[in-house]
């Protein structure tokens, strides 16, 4: 008969309940309190910025899932972000008001397109669009992952291949003038379900949906990384060869987690597009994919919370600095990244976990001296000591 550890289970259950309560409270604050605060300060436009940054945080969670937990540094997630954004943008472009004489997106008239291209026709359907937002990035990521991982390509070579994929997609989308307006991208979205896309009420709905999907994405990533699957991901990150010798084939796990990460990026792109009013090949640029990695690095990879926190901090810092120091704000951004790399290599969350509390206690004159192993307080160790003779 296998014995359990009741105290450990109770502690884990309590911890999850507390975490769920914190997440719910933050989500409710973001929905009901934060917009009112910005409005009271006369900065209502920052609610729109916050909605965009929260959408970007969904993509950052996907990056953290494959980089922080699985050890695969992708420099091409902008591709999946762009695929999701384009899928939803195509649907919105086809929501043409009845007052319009042409039933084609306006940019097609510039290129003398007479009939709606076959690629566009399924995007009249909203269910198809939702499926495309989730599945097209996921299938693209799964195919790329399978071709790479089955050949045991990893490390810097994997990063280079994802970067090369970004270049391919970026150049391809740039050249499709008649199909998707090329470098100009898709913009000027008018209506969705009969409502004006740029109206405050519609943008409020997109803002709330972004928060809901961010919470769902966090819960999904938390579930994936907390059980046996999460331990396998960490094992792949720490010693893939040893995992193979243990009888596991990492290829399937890596393909699956890469596809999930790509799907999250696609959802982020779909939520980001209507809030910014445009999607273009610029989202598939290498620089944007690298920015995603920087957000996770600043917050602290392998923590999930750090991915969200880093995304919000970096993007709000970029917004504020560009407003006040329009000519030199890039120097501040560069200095921030250097500080993180040189002083906080594990990011903000990693610093808090490892030495942050000790340094804070030291500043407050309440430094606590602890002995090396913290095994004395480990509930599993205590349980084994108590039951070793049973």
pLDDT band with cut points at 50, 70 and 90 for residue 361: low
Give residue 328's pLDDT.
Answer: 77
Give residue 382's pLDDT.
Answer: 66
Give residue 233's pLDDT.
Answer: 94
* 379 found inside a domain: no
Contact 265, 277 (CB under 8 A): no
Give residue 333's pLDDT.
Answer: 72
pLDDT digits (tens, 9 = 90+) for 280-313: 999 999 999 999 999 999 999 998 999 999 999 9
pLDDT digits (tens, 9 = 90+) for 299-355: 999 989 999 999 999 999 888 888 888 777 778 777 877 877 787 888 888 888 777
Contacts 24+ apart (CB under 8 A), 348-356: 348/298, 348/299, 348/300, 348/306, 348/309, 348/310, 348/313, 349/299, 349/300, 349/303, 349/305, 349/306, 349/309, 350/300, 350/301, 350/302, 350/303, 350/306, 351/300, 353/300, 353/303
Scanning the chain, the segments in alpha helix (DSSP H) are 6-28, 34-40, 45-63, 77-93, 106-110, 126-149, 156-174, 177-180, 200-226, 228-245, 250-276, 286-299, 305-324, 329-343, 347-351, 357-363, 379-387
For a pLDDT cut of 90, what percent of the chain falls above it?
65
Q: What is the spatial distance between Cα 113 and Cα 254, in angstroms, rounded to a whole number?
A: 42
Give residue 214's pLDDT.
Answer: 97
Give residue 327's pLDDT.
Answer: 74
* 197 found inside a domain: yes
Give residue 44's pLDDT.
Answer: 85
Contact 272, 50 (CB under 8 A): no
Q: What is the spatial distance between Cα 386 and Cα 155, in angstroms, rounded to a whole number?
A: 44
pLDDT band with cut points at 50, 70 and 90 for residue 3: very low
Position 379 pLDDT exceeds 80: no
Give residue 330's pLDDT.
Answer: 74
Give residue 372's pLDDT.
Answer: 46
Position 255 pLDDT exceeds 50: yes
Contact 22, 202 (CB under 8 A): no
Average pLDDT, the chain: 88
* 107 found inside a domain: yes
| Distance from the Cα of residue 57 to its chain's centroid | 4
In the chain, the number of structural domains is 1
Give residue 378's pLDDT.
Answer: 62
Q: What is the spatial distance between Cα 232 and Cα 217, in angstroms, rounded to a whole number?
A: 20
Give residue 373's pLDDT.
Answer: 52
Position 377 pLDDT exceeds 70: no
* 100 found inside a domain: yes
Q: What is the spatial distance between Cα 341 and Cα 274, in angstroms, rounded to a whole number?
A: 34
* 279 found inside a domain: yes
Q: Exposed e or buried b for every residue in 71-107, given b needs 16+ CB within 10 A?
A: bbbbbbbbbbbbbbbbbbbbbbbbbbeeeeeeebbeb
Using alpha carbons only, what angle is made at residue 387 by residues 385 and 390, rounded to the nearest 5 degrees?
140
pLDDT digits (tens, 9 = 90+) for 114-148: 899 999 999 999 999 999 999 999 999 999 999 99
Kindly report the pTM of this predicted structure: 0.89
Give residue 2's pLDDT.
Answer: 46
Give residue 357's pLDDT.
Answer: 63
Give residue 98's pLDDT.
Answer: 67
pLDDT digits (tens, 9 = 90+) for 157-203: 999 999 999 999 999 999 999 999 999 999 999 999 989 999 999 99
- Mean pLDDT for 70-83 is 95
* 324 found inside a domain: no
* 370 found inside a domain: no
* 41 found inside a domain: yes
**Domain span holding position 235:** 21-293
Position 276 pLDDT exceeds 50: yes
Give the closest residue to 322 by CA, choosing from 314, 311, 330. Answer: 330
Position 390 pLDDT exceeds 60: no
pLDDT band with cut points at 50, 70 and 90 for residue 360: low
Position 5 pLDDT exceeds 90: no
């Amino acid at each position: 008969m296998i014995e359990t550890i009741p105290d450990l289970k109770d502690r884990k259950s309590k911890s999850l309940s507390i975490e769920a309560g914190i997440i719910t409270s933050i989500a409710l604050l973001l929905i009901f309190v934060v917009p009112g605060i910005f409005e009271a300060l006369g900065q209502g436009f920052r609610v729109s910025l916050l909605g965009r940054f929260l959408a970007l945080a969904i993509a950052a969670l996907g990056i953290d899932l494959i980089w922080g937990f699985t050890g695969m540094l992708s420099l091409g997630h902008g591709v999946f972000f762009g695929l999701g954004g384009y899928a939803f943008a195509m649907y919105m472009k086809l929501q043409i008001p009845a007052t319009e004489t042409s039933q084609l997106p306006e940019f097609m008239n510039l290129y003398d397109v007479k009939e709606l291209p076959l690629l566009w026709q399924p995007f009249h359907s909203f269910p198809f669009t939702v499926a495309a937002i989730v599945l097209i990035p996921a299938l693209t990521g799964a195919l790329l992952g399978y071709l790479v991982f089955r050949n045991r390509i990893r490390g810097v070579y994997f990063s280079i291949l994802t970067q090369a994929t970004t270049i391919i997609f970026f150049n391809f989308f740039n050249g499709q003038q008649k199909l998707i307006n090329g470098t100009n991208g898709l913009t000027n979205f008018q209506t969705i379900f009969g409502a004006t896309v740029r109206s405050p009420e519609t943008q409020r709905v997109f803002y709330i949906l972004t928060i809901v999907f961010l919470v769902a994405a966090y819960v999904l990533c938390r579930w994936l990384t907390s059980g046996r699957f999460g331990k396998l991901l960490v094992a792949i990150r720490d010693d893939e060869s040893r995992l193979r010798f243990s009888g596991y084939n990492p290829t399937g796990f890596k393909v699956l987690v890469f596809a999930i990460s790509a799907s999250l990026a696609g959802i982020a792109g779909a939520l980001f597009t209507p809030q910014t009013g445009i999607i273009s090949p610029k989202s598939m640029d290498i620089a944007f994919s690298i920015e995603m990695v920087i957000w996770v690095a600043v917050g602290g990879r392998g923590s999930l919370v750090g991915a969200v926190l880093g995304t919000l901090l970096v993007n709000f810092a970029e917004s504020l600095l560009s407003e006040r120091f329009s000519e030199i704000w890039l120097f501040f951004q560069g200095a921030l990244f250097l500080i993180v790399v040189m002083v906080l290599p594990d990011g903000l969350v990693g610093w808090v976990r490892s030495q942050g509390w000790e340094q804070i206690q030291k500043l407050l004159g309440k430094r606590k001296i602890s002995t090396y192993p913290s095994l004395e307080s480990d509930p599993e160790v205590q349980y084994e000591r108590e039951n070793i003779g049973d």
